[in-house]
Structures are given as C-alpha cells and as structure tokens.
Amino acid sequence: MYRVATCSWPARTPRCDAAAAGGIFGENVGDRGRRLLLTVGGVGLSPRAPGTLGTLVAAAVDAALLAAGWSLVPVRIGLALAASVGCVALGPWAEKHWGTKDPQAVVLDEVAGYFAAAALCGARHDGATILACFVLFRVGDILKPFPVNRLQGLPHGWGILMDDLAAGVLAGLVVLAGMQAW
C-alpha cells in the first residue's frame, strides 16, 4: 500500500521530493488530509472489516447526536450529503492513490450510506432504529442486491459512492416499513 522512499543526496527526483515533504510515506499534507477523510480518521485502514468499522463510526455519531437531543433528520441529511460530496470529489484521487476501483480503505461511502438509511427513518429514532439501520445497511452493502450491484460500475467517485447510497436507501426503506408496521 505504502512504499518507503529511499533517496540519497544529491539525487533530486519527484519521488524524493515528495518523501522529503511528507515523511516516509511520501505524502504531502493534502494527501494525508484526503486519506484521513476518506478512511474516516484511519478506520478504513483496518485489516479486518473496514466497511463495518466505518459504518460503526457513523452509527456511534448518530447515537451521540440522539443522546444530545439534536434535531436529527436535518443533521443526518447533512452528514449524508457531506460524505457523498467527499466521495465524489475525492474518488479519482482515491482510485489513483490505492490503485484500485472502489478501494476497500475508503469508508466515507459507508458513512454516506448509513446516514441515508438513518435519515429516511425520520423523527422516530431510537437505539433500536440505529441498530436496525446499521445491520440492514451492512447486509445490503455486503450482498449488493440488484440494482445496487450495478452502481459500482459508475466512474470514479460515483462508483465508490452510489452502491453504498443505494444500499442505505434500501435499508432505510425496510426500517421505515418496519416502523410503520410496528
């Protein structure tokens, strides 16, 4: 994933200059910031279940907002939109940086998908709703039922984001239907 740059003076190459500017990972401050945002503070770099951990961070933020008594629907919509914009804007950089389409380390899309599910649940929101959104979103994101699976083929950040956003909308609709039936 990361390469340690080895440069000897007076060699001047772009890679050596990048290493000098950003330390052993050859990252500058902008790259470091993009990586931290896309991996939700580094959670996406976990070797096990990074998507689940990213979703868990989103659910924890949702629970903290609930405990604080905030008006959750506008906040959830805002968080889903902000995470979505981040994915689309930084998607091309992420694919180049990690060298793959829809890199596993990028979990900002999970944050967007979770908050899309949670926003659909409206004002009737509690711990059980948070848990249901978490579980159903993860199931939808992992299984990628039709038409969710088709959306990964979209270019760059759109492909990173849209499958998770669709899984979130489906999860939110299932939770909302369950809330209406209950």
Biggest distance spanned by C-alpha atoms of the chain:
72
Residues 13 and 56 in one domain: no
Residues 139 and 152 in one domain: yes
Residues 61 and 136 in one domain: yes
Query: Looking up tokens 């848990």, which residue turns up?
Result: 131
Residues 6 and 58 in one domain: no
Nearest to 61 by CA among 114, 106, 120, 105: 114
Residues 2 and 33 in one domain: yes
Residues 169 and 137 in one domain: yes
Residues 58 and 119 in one domain: yes
Buried b (16+ CB within 10 A) or exposed e, 135-153: ebbbebbeebeeebeebbe
Q: Please give the Cα distance from 4 to 55 (Å, whole number).
A: 31
Q: Please give the Cα distance from 171 to 118 (Å, whole number).
A: 9
Nearest to 118 by CA among 128, 108, 107: 128
Contacts of 60 (CB under 8 A, 6+ apart): none
Residues 65 and 131 in one domain: yes
For residue 9, the SS3 value is coil
pLDDT in tens, the chain (182 residues): 444 344 444 444 444 444 444 444 556 888 999 999 999 999 999 999 999 999 999 999 999 999 988 867 899 999 999 999 999 999 999 999 999 988 999 999 999 999 999 999 887 788 999 999 999 999 999 998 888 888 888 988 899 999 999 999 999 999 999 888 87
Residues 99 and 148 in one domain: yes
Q: Please give the Cα distance from 105 to 108 (Å, whole number).
A: 9
Residues 176 and 90 in one domain: yes
Helical (H) or strand (E) element with 95: helix 72-98
- pLDDT tens figures, 145-161: 888 888 888 988 899 99
For residue 5, the SS3 value is coil
Domain of 100 in residue numbering reads as 42-181
Q: Please give the Cα distance from 87 to 93 (Å, whole number).
A: 10
Residues 7 and 86 in one domain: no
What total of structural domains would you count in the chain?
2
Residues 72 and 24 in one domain: no
Whether pTM > 0.75 for this model: the answer is yes
